[in-house]
Amino acid sequence: MAKECEICGKKPMVGSHVSHAHNVTKRRFKPNLQRVRAVCDGQTRKIVVCTSCIKAGRVVKAA
């Protein structure tokens, strides 16, 4: 599955794990992506979108 939302383009971000001893290591914050049957250009197809786009109503789900 692609790691990018097809609607808003949201991608994984980079941050740090910080331990109690302040040891810092890299980590990734991944967006919550879902595969959804949606209507695109009058056709029904599966697209990969983030849950914030689904909740905001930017995706028209196919019946």
Domains annotated for the chain, with CATH where assigned, are 1-63 (2.30.170.40)
| CA–CA distance, 34 with 52 (Å, rounded to integer) | 10
User: Residue 2 — very low, low, confident or very high, per pLDDT cuts 50/70/90?
Assistant: confident
| CA–CA distance, 14 with 62 (Å, rounded to integer) | 34
| CA–CA distance, 8 with 47 (Å, rounded to integer) | 12
35 DSSP β-pair partners: 48
| CA–CA distance, 19 with 23 (Å, rounded to integer) | 5
Q: Which amino acid makes up residue 58?
A: R
- Specify the pTM: 0.81
DSSP state of 20: T
Q: Does residue 1 register a pLDDT over 70?
A: no
What is the chain's mean pLDDT, rounded?
95
Question: Mean of the pLDDT values across residues 10-18?
Answer: 97
